[in-house]
Structure 1
């Protein structure tokens, strides 16, 4: 399973592609691709957003579902999804809804 992530060009915020809803600030809202066709759709959306100067560093990342929640496989992506590991009061992890 994969999701599409990028950084918003205007402020550098880590974001995830959420289909018709556009780009979301939390990975929980991301569209998950479970096959090659889904991955191709995500890649096409990422290329279009990059071409429109909306995002940079577009990348498909591996995820897994843990208790119904999307969880990145790589530690780097877990940190991008949550926030700094040395300050739990900062980043997305500090938001009450995250």
Structure 2
């Protein structure tokens, strides 16, 4: 299973393409692709958003669904989803209801 991630061009914030077609700041809102057609659709949306200067560094990433929600398989993406590993008071992990990066 994959989701589409990028960085918002206006402020560099890590974002994920959400089910409603917007770029969400929380990975829990990400739309998942379960097959090649879904992946191609997400990539096309990401390419259009990049060309419209909404986001940069658009990538499909591997994830799994666990009881706690969407979890990226790579550590790099877990850190992008939560925040720095050395300061729990910074990044997305400092927001209410979000756990540590790794």
SS at match of 1:40: helix
**Structure 2 match to 1:92:** 92
| Cα distance in structure 2, aligned partners of 1:19 and 1:40 | 15
Larger relative helix fraction: 1
| Cα distance in structure 2, aligned partners of 1:19 and 1:34 | 13
CA RMSD of aligned residues (A): 1.0
| Cα distance in structure 2, aligned partners of 1:72 and 1:66 | 10
- Are 2:19 and 2:29, in contact at CA under 8 Å, matched by a contact in 1? no
SS at match of 1:19: coil
Aligned length: 98
Q: Deviations over 1:34-64 (max 9, x none)?
A: 1111101100000000010000000000000
**Structure 2 match to 1:27:** 27
| TM-score normalised by the chain length of structure 2 | 0.92
Q: Deviations over 1:59-79 (max 9, x none)?
A: 000000111500000000000
Regions of 4+ moved over 3 Å: none
**Structure 1 match to 2:18:** 18
Gaps of 5+ in 1: none
> Does residue 45 of the first structure (1) align with residue 45 of the second (2)?
yes
Gaps of 5+ in 2: none
Which residues in structure 2 correspond to 1:48-87 (within 5 Å)?
48-87=48-87
